[in-house]
């Protein structure tokens, strides 16, 4: 399956051009309503700015997308911002770039460059996750093996989805399909075969990148 990169946590970034400040703010969104609310929120926050231009992409294939120049010359702000999101392969994200006018006109090329660069700066300070095919595993282990199992999972970048500390210990974990067999072998090796693993089924999950 084609990997889909979503915005996990939004960030901010700033770009300056001839004393005009361009402040980009990103946020994960799941619907046009969420995007609209975020855009309105930013406009209220930066109420004294000359422009609050925006763009968003939503859906598996970015089937829902929209952009606004918010008073800038047509095609110089919203469209370039949208193209950065799609060009970076980002899904389910909204961005607002706030401009504080510095007194000098930038021209069409200057505006496109400034809005583009501002979004890129915001993306640098954001975090993302990639949609992956995975397998859910049930681990059954003894208390004596808990520390080494947690250490092994940590080294593989895996956190237990759930844990049950009863008479014995069970954990459920999600692992990328191509890593499942390797993890099962590692767990068997570190416990001399004491750890039992059971595949509960296939799934789709998001892995931080």
Domains of the chain: 5-125 (3.30.230.30), 132-208 (3.30.70.240)
Q: Cα(first)–Cα(last) distance of the chain, in Å?
A: 17
Residue 9: predicted pLDDT: 94
pLDDT of 3 > 70? The answer is no
pLDDT-based confidence at residue 2 (cuts at 50, 70, 90): low
Burial class (CB in 10 A: 0-12, 13-18, 19+), 100: middle
pLDDT-based confidence at residue 1 (cuts at 50, 70, 90): very low
Calculated CA dihedral for residues 76, 77, 82, 85, nearest 10 degrees: 110
- Write down the pTM of the prediction: 0.78
Pair of tokens at residue 38 = 């975020």
Neighbours of 101 (CB within 10 A): 14
Tell me the CB-side half-sphere exposure of residue 11, using CA atoms within 13 A: 15
Percent of the chain with pLDDT over 90: 82
For 67-82, write each residue's pLDDT tens digit: 999 999 999 999 999 9
Pair of tokens at residue 180 = 């499942």
* Mean pLDDT to the nearest integer, 173-195: 91
């Amino acid at each position: 399956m084609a990997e889909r990169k979503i915005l996990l946590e939004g960030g901010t970034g700033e770009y300056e051009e001839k004393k005009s400040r361009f402040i980009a703010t990103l946020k994960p969104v799941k619907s046009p309503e969420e995007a609209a609310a975020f855009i309105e929120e930013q406009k209220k926050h930066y109420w004294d700015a000359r422009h609050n231009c925006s763009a968003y992409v939503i859906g598996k294939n970015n089937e829902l997308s929209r952009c606004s120049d918010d008073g800038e010359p047509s095609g110089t702000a919203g469209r370039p911002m949208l193209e950065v999101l799609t060009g970076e392969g980002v899904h389910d994200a909204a961005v607002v770039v706030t401009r504080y006018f510095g007194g000098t006109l930038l021209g069409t090329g200057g505006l496109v460059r400034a809005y583009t660069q501002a979004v890129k700066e915001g993306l640098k300070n954001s975090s993302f996750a990639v949609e992956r095919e995975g397998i859910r595993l049930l681990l059954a282990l003894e208390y004596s093996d808990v520390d080494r199992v947690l250490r092994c999972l940590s080294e593989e970048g895996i956190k237990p989805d759930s844990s049950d500390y009863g008479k014995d210990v069970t954990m459920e974990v999600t692992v990328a399909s191509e890593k499942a067999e390797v993890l099962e072998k590692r767990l068997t090796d570190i416990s001399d075969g004491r750890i039992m693993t059971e595949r509960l089924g296939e799934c789709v999950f998001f892995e931080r990148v």
